[in-house]
Each structure stands twice: as C-alpha cells, then as structure tokens.
Chain A
Amino acid sequence: MEAGALSNPVLRARRNRIDRIGDPLLRGLSGLAAALAVAVIVGIVYEVAHLAWPAITHFGIGFITTNDWNPVTERYGAAPFIYGTLVTSAIALLFAAPLAIAISIFLTELAPDRVRRPVATLVDMLAAIPSVILGLWGILVLGPFMHETVEPALKSAFGFLPIFSGDPSAFGYLTAAMILTIMITPIITSVTREVFETVPGELKEGSYALGATRWEMVRQVVLPYSRAGIVGATILGLGRAIGEAIAVAQVIGGATGINISLFHTGSTMAAQIAAQFQGAPGALQKPSLAYLGLLLLAFAVIVNLVARLIVQRGTLKDTDVTPTEVGAL
C-alpha cells in the first residue's frame, strides 16, 4: 500500500513535503520544550539572586556564619537555619534509612504476596499525606507525645549529653526531625524496594544453594548488590528533608538561634522562608530570606549532584564487583 501510494506523483510530493517539514518541526518543538526547562531554572536562580542582591552586598559571605536573625536591628545571618536544616535532616536520615531498608527487605524477600501489595501501597500512601496535615498532627499528637514521654525518657537516660539537656518541649528540633522521618521513609522505601527487586534471582538462589540462611543471603547478596541504590535513595530522602518547609515550620518552634539541645526550638532554612517571606517589613529582611533561599538552592544542587555521582559510580562498580563477592561467599 505504501509503495502504491508513493507511485502517485501527487502523493509523493506531499510525502516529500511532510518529510521536509516534519523532522525539523519535531526537533524544533522538542528542543523548545527542553530549552523551556533550562530557562525556568536559570530564571529562578536569576530572580532569587536578584532579590537577594542587597543582602549579598550588605552581609557578604559572613551571612553564612552569623548567628542572628533580628528584623528590628536588621541584622541577619543564616547560621541558625543552616544548623537547624543539617541537624533535623541528619536525625531524620538516621531513623528513616534503616527503617526504609528494613521495610524493603520485608516487602521483597519476606512478606507473602497477600501482605506485600497492601503494605507497599500503604507505605507509598504515607508519601501522599499533605505536609500541612502531617504538621498539624505533629502539633496535636506527636509534639505532646515527645514532650511528655520520649524527651523525658531520653533526658533521664542520656541527660549528661548536651544534646539531651534542657527542658523537654513539644516544639523543637527533635519533633521536627521525627516529622521529617515520617515524610522521607516512604520515598527511601520505594526506591530501595525497586533496587532490591533488581537483584538477579540466580545470585540469590546461588547463595541459598551454598547453604546461606535468609539473613545471610540478604546481607551477602541483596545489600552489597544494592549498595549504590540504597545510597542514592537515602540522598533522595535527604533532598526532601532539606527542602521541607510547611510541616517543619509548624513544629520546630521558629526560634532564631543555634541551640545544642535537641529539645530546644529552632528553625530551618526552608521553614524560615515559608514563615517570614510574606510581607517581611525590614528593608533587608526580604533580601536576606532570598539569600537564604539561594543557599538552600545550593544545598539542594550539591545533594543532588552527590547522589548522581554515587549512583553512577556505584552501579558501574557494583555490577562488576558483585559476582566475585558472591563467588567469595
């Protein structure tokens, strides 16, 4: 049919026209779409930098280390928020990563099919809870629980450590970190689960054939094979934790200083921007918040790049390494 159609000179001319226009058009349109994505990123960075410029010129690089945020005296610094971001994200990762790995092992290796599907769906749904709802739950349920049960217990057991000193409080770094843990666990879980599912069945069976128990198989085959994926997933979770604003702003207590005690109130970069950007009165307050946004952007980019590097290098190396590792078993 095609050949018959092309033998007709009119149709062939039309075909030629389509060929001439079609390809360049496709290239043009898809190129435009790609350029748009780049333009949006460049536009955002430019806008934020432009807005931040008065603060950048006024405070300079010292902004990063200044431990103050005072709209009345117009002295601003990012240190309390960088500290808050690092502390809450680190604690969240500390809890979320092992939890997510355990859930993934359960779902891929241990759970019967009947259980696997609903549990996996529920874990994924945890990621769908709007952060403002989670924050509300944090104020009403988790905060009081931390205040009355968890923090007093930590204090009585490890009170000699400065991070567990001071008065328990419903609002603070630790409560925020727990909320973040709940937020990032499903993200890390869904990626690690996918990764675990890619472990070749032959390797697992080989391990069993050599007499490994299920735990030995997981430890010696699944985990080493998936190392890069796990690290990548964890850093993906870290990215989310660093950027989360609303839920953190609701439970962290909005204090603008560095406090060693995890029970104390603080703030993070994202939470501070979310809380104060609207109608910030000080002449330098908005630029300083934009400066904070620029730093947050830099954080996110660095985390993303690191994740990319690890995943790339890891997958290449691990596919080479794993068979020998399994052979050495």
Chain B
Amino acid sequence: MTVSSSQHTKTIVAVAMSGGVDSSVTAALLLEAGYDVIGLTMHLWSDDGTSKAPCCSTGGERDAAAVAAQLDFPHYTVDFSQEFFTLVVKDFVSEYVRGHTPNPCIRCNTLMKWQRLWEKAQKFGAVYFATGHYARVEKNASRIHLRRAAFRQKDQSYALWGISQEQLKCTFFPLGKMSKDAVRKKASALGLPNALRSESQEICFVSNDNYRDFLKEHSQGVLEGIGSGEIVGPGGKVLGHHAGFPNYTVGQRRGLGLTWPRPLYVRRIDAATNRIFVDEEEGCYGHAMRVEQVNWVSWENPSEPFEAEVQIRYRDPGSPARIVPQNDGALHVEFLTPAWAITPGQSAVLYDGDLLIGGGVITSATL
C-alpha cells in the first residue's frame, strides 16, 4: 500500500442522509459543486425493519451507505437513539397525554439534526451542513433568511422554524430551487438506486403509521388508563362516547361514530375531563391562539405587534393574523380571517410572503 501525499485543504460539507432520493441528490449536487462531502445517517430507533418510514430506519442507513459507496464519499452512521428517545419520543407521548397533537419530525429537525448531528459533523471536520429539504437560505450581512422553496407545492420550510441563525449560517439546501421532478430526473441520470422509490411521510419510529399501538406500548400505562369518555356536541349535549381522547385530533371527522345531519368534526380535546367536543364545520374555526417555544428566524426578535401569514399545519395554505409578542416570550396570535382546526401541539409558522419570520408550538386556541 502506498502512502498518500499530503492532502489539499478540504471544505467538508456534511450531508444528513436518510437514504431517500432527496438527500442523495443533495450529496451528488454538492460533490459536483466541488465540495468534499461526508454523509451522515442518524440511527434513532431500532425497529424490526418492517417500517417503511423514510428517515433513519436501518433500511435507510443501508440505502444511504449504498449511495455513498456509489458516488464515492465517506458515510458514517451515528447512534443517537438514547437522546432521540428522551427528546423526541417521550415528548411525542407526553403531548398526546395532554390532549395535544405533536409534530415529532419538527422537534427532531431542531434538536437532533441541527443541534446534535451538526455538532457531531463539526467534530468530524465539516464546516457546512446540508439536507435534502425543499427550502432556501439567503446569507445577508445582518441576518440569515430562510425562505420557502421555489416550488411551493414541495415547500418544507414549515418543518425548519427551529433552526438558529448560527446553524443557518452553515446550512445549505441545494434542492431549494428545484422541482421534485427535476430531483428525480437527476437521481435517474446518476443511476441512484432509490431514484424511483416512493418516500413515505410517516413518523420514522411508528411502524405502519400505527401511532395508537405505539402510544399504548410507550405511555407506560398512562394512556391505557384512559377509558372511554363523552363526545359533546354543539350546545353542550352529550352525543355519544369515544374510546379515549388520544385517538383523536382537532379537525378529525372519521371515527366519531355519530349520527348527525351534517358532518361533525373534533373542535377541541379536553384531556382533563376526557371529553371530545365536536361541531359542524363552521364551529371549528378559531380566532386566536397562544404560541410558545418561539424561535425568530429571518426577523430579529420583534417587540411590537405585526401582521403576518400564519401556517398552523404542514399543508395549511396559511391565514393572515396579527402577532402580539408577550412579555414571557410567547406569542398571542389573532387571526384576521378565522383559522380552521387550530391544533395544540402543532407548529405555528409565520411568513412574510415566502420569507419565514419565525415559529413556535401552539399551546391553546380561542374558538
């Protein structure tokens, strides 16, 4: 074996790889741009391999390693399963116990990918961090801006509201200006094995999207102890019974088992009394909400009220609202046009056009 001569100075970008086509094409584009790439896959959860969930299952590790071998860059798997359980999975369960509907993927982005994985990447020698998210970063003099993807229908900026300025400064989103179609074409052109594979949107630690079974298994008996409770209709009348409030989410229509002339939706969940409140569609619009765990992204910490478009779930087109920053750092959000099915536990993300102002977690709604 020959001894290699001294290496050129490398500019190393660490690519968070799930094994899916987006992060794979991300790595390929960075290589073409002349960067030295290392692929990192987080090992977050051990299941028996039956889950088709996209990120961080052992199948994903294999796929990511195969892509790295094919494109010829180093790939490492990093075991964060303990932290993931403590920070993401436990929160997922406790949110359901409170009657909220959590978004663990966003928490994983904030706490795992951009904190722990990025820290690990820097220890490995990386100076930049890249993911296959459809979003855009703009590095300006005073503030780093996060924008929606150029192709709105693929925009994933909603899931990225928790990233700090310092982290964004070192982040690349190579797919931000591309369409999904263009990404797939690129993958095919490169002969990547996962080019045509469908990517599921499931939570990675819940196999077959069966979150109810997951909650039963991991709530340490708490959720099992929640028996059936009342379903309360418009006007306060008890219309029937439900199998336990964690089985429901705000805005849900299916599974109520009620007879009513018009469709009924879950309006509000009261965990304390194990009651589900339902109403017809018009009754499920909310006027205001409280948002906590606020992170300011493209705008610096505003102290005065302002108007913005607010997205309250991933596929929400957004509603205009007046944002009133509170003394305790939370936000009071007053919708200018009422918002449908405001769900505590979900993320609220504020936009100025395609500029992501900031975001937080919805804790309560005023209907």
To the question of whether A and B form a pair in one complex, the answer is no
Residues of chain A at the chain B interface (Cβ within 8 Å):
none
